[in-house]
């Protein structure tokens, strides 16, 4: 059967090898959900030709992206543009997105069953002139932070996004945005709302206060030290390093000639990025794959991020799990279980190989097939 010629049908019979163990697996889909008993009239979906050549993953995950930030220029994207961003992710096999802050309301994506599911963090929360213009909610006084966290927790899907550090032009380097005391109140407010908190952090100095306040996740984390890594392990704090974004640090430094200390700092963080992430992984920090797509990073690059995680010391299975089954579990979505939504990415060959991961054979979302262009 030619996958490119198929159309969505009610039921499929799926056979292949599944990760992380690589063992053969067989199930059916019915009404958009996985079932473990044969379904009358189900059509076979062996995209590799044999069970050994067909590999099945739960839909991939980009655990840090932005659906609604305009590429290249920053600021909010149009409705048509953000829907296209979601389509690009789907065609790369990414069926679950954690939107780590968007300046526009992207909930209309939920009205499109052919587009990925999104777990939202509301808008970034920052201080005036301490983040990218047009993206965050800017607070004139940090005493407003707990109340704003509550607002963003209610606007999101269980996450809140803080800007933990950014260049302070008066200092000429990265500095924290918030006091330790207000962070404790703000993160407690989020937890009271049933939300988890994550923070953008490039440097070293903001990490102790965020970790001491009970934060749930760190984005980027290039300034991690042995001490803050140990605190992450103790607190069960996750890390989403966004390594393809960190690759832009030298370019950022080159554009910051007015701030030589900051520029040197960014270059140093970039130079040791793989060692930093490897140390966190070796210590037992949970690591998940996120591209930071939106703004300066194009959507659809999850395979590049998985490749970068391997460069940072994760083995091929763990690096892929950080963008699939492990990330789905972290975000509260189970994988390849009877009764769950049939959100699958299928490959001709083992997707632990980068070239294979870049080229999914077919995507199944809510039980409907979406042949890859």
pLDDT score, position 252: 97
Contact, 364 vs 30, CB < 8 A? Answer: no
- Cα separation, 89 vs 87, in Å, equals 5
So what's the pLDDT on residue 4? Answer: 39
- Percent of the chain with pLDDT strictly greater than 90: 90
Condensed to tens digits (0 to 9), the pLDDT of residues 7-25 reads 445 699 999 999 999 999 9
Q: How far is CA 207 from the centre of its chain?
A: 20
Q: For residue range 307-341, list pLDDT tens digits in order.
A: 999 999 999 999 999 999 999 999 999 789 999 99
**Neighbouring-strand partners of residue 166:** 175
E strands, the chain, where?
11-18, 23-30, 33-35, 43-45, 54-58, 60-65, 94-99, 117-120, 124-126, 137-138, 159-163, 165-168, 173-176, 196-201, 217-220, 238-240, 344-348, 362-365, 368-371
Q: How far apart are CA 331 and CA 263, in angstroms?
A: 35
Average pLDDT over residues 113-134: 96
Domains present along the chain, CATH in parentheses = 3-58+335-371 (2.30.40.10), 60-330 (3.20.20.140)
CA atoms of 320 and 59, how far apart (whole Å): 11
On whether the pTM is more than 0.85, the answer is yes
Nearby residues of 282 by Cβ (< 8 Å), 6 or more positions away: 313
Contact 344, 364 (CB under 8 A): yes
122: helix, strand or coil:
coil
The C-alpha atoms of residue 92 and residue 89 are separated, in whole angstroms, by 5
Q: Return left, alpha or beta for 161; rule: phi > 0 is left, psi -120 to 50 is alpha, else beta.
A: beta
Comparing CA positions, the residue from 57, 62, 33 lying closest to residue 327 is: 62
Give 176-187 pLDDT, tens digit per residue: 999 999 999 999
260 alpha-carbon distance from chain centroid:
31
Mean pLDDT of the chain: 94
pLDDT tens by residue, 67-86: 999 988 778 999 999 999 99
Inform me whether the pLDDT recorded for 239 exceeds 50: yes
Query: What is d(CA 187, CA 148) in angstroms, rounded to the nearest whole number?
Result: 11
Pairing status of strand 344-348 against strand 54-58? antiparallel
Look at residue 72 in the predicted model and tell me its pLDDT.
80
């Amino acid at each position: 059967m030619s996958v490119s010629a198929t159309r969505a049908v009610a039921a499929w019979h799926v056979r292949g090898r599944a990760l992380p163990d690589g063992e053969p697996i067989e199930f059916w889909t019915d009404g958009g959900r996985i079932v473990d008993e044969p379904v009358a009239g189900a059509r076979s979906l062996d995209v590799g030709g044999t069970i050994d050549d067909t590999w099945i993953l739960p839909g991939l995950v980009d655990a840090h992206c932005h659906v609604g930030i305009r590429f290249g220029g920053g600021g909010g994207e149009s409705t048509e543009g953000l829907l296209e961003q979601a389509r690009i992710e789907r065609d790369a096999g990414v069926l679950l997105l954690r939107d780590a802050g968007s300046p526009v309301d992207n909930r209309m994506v939920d009205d499109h069953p052919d587009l990925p599911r999104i777990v939202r963090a509301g808008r970034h929360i920052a201080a005036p002139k301490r983040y990218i213009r047009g993206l965050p909610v800017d607070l004139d006084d940090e005493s407003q932070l707990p109340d704003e966290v509550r607002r963003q927790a209610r606007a999101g899907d269980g996450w809140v996004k803080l800007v933990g550090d950014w260049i302070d032009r008066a200092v000429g380097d990265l500095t924290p945005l918030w006091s330790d005391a207000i962070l404790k109140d703000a993160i407690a407010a989020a937890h009271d709302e049933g939300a988890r908190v994550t923070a953008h952090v490039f440097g070293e100095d903001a990490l102790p206060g965020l970790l001491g306040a009970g934060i749930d996740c760190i984005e980027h984390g290039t300034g991690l030290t042995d001490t803050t890594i140990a605190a992450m392990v103790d607190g069960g704090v996750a890390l989403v390093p966004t390594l393809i974004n960190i690759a832009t640090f030298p370019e950022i430094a080159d554009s910051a000639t007015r701030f030589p200390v900051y520029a040197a700092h960014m270059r140093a963080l970039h130079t040791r990025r793989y060692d930093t992430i490897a140390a966190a992984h070796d210590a037992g920090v949970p690591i998940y794959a996120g591209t930071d797509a939106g703004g300066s990073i194009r959507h659809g690059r999850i395979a590049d991020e998985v490749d970068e995680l391997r460069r940072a010391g994760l083995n091929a299975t763990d690096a892929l799990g950080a963008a699939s089954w492990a990330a789905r579990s972290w975000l509260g979505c189970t994988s390849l279980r009877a009764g769950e939504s049939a959100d699958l990415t299928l490959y001709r060959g083992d997707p632990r190989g980068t070239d294979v991961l870049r080229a999914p054979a077919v995507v199944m979302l809510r039980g409907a097939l979406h042949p890859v262009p």
